[in-house]
Amino acid sequence: MIDTQLEKIKRRLGITDTDTQQDDLIRDLINDAESYFKVLTGANEVAEKYAFIIRDVALKLYVRKGSEGTTSESVDGYSVNYTQSLFDEYLDLLNRDFNLDDTSLERKGRVMFY
């Protein structure tokens, strides 16, 4: 049986299957990650091959819970920095698949002078 996103995220966070206290929150984060993905890419659905991106972004959202807007913080030698976009590390892949950088309008060619 293929694990659901919820089960995989709970396993990575060390939450047991019987502990359902965080399930609604994790589902919300998965939905938010999917919505963000759709807005970013213009896709109507999230293809299965991008499930790992949704899972990773949902995990980032979970870890950032309570400090979503933090760009830099340092307390007693512990430092926290967050990137602007949750999808930054996947942009090369998404650019390739969805032409997000608008290079689809560019054309290669050559000029001939007579």
State the DSSP code for 18.
Answer: T
Asked if the model's pLDDT at residue 83 lies above 60, the reply is no
52 falls in which pLDDT band (50, 70, 90)?
very high
Report how far apart, in Å, the C-alpha atoms of 28 and of each of 17, 23, 59, 81 are.
Answer: 18, 9, 12, 24
Kindly list the domain boundaries of the chain, sorted by start residue: 5-98
105 falls in which pLDDT band (50, 70, 90)?
very low
Report how far apart, in Å, the C-alpha atoms of 38 and of each of 3, 22, 41, 53 are.
Answer: 22, 24, 5, 12
pLDDT at position 35 is 96
Helix axes 5-13, 51-63, angle to 10 degrees: 40
Q: Extract the tokens encoding 60.
A: 């980032």
pLDDT at position 68 is 61
pLDDT at position 62 is 93
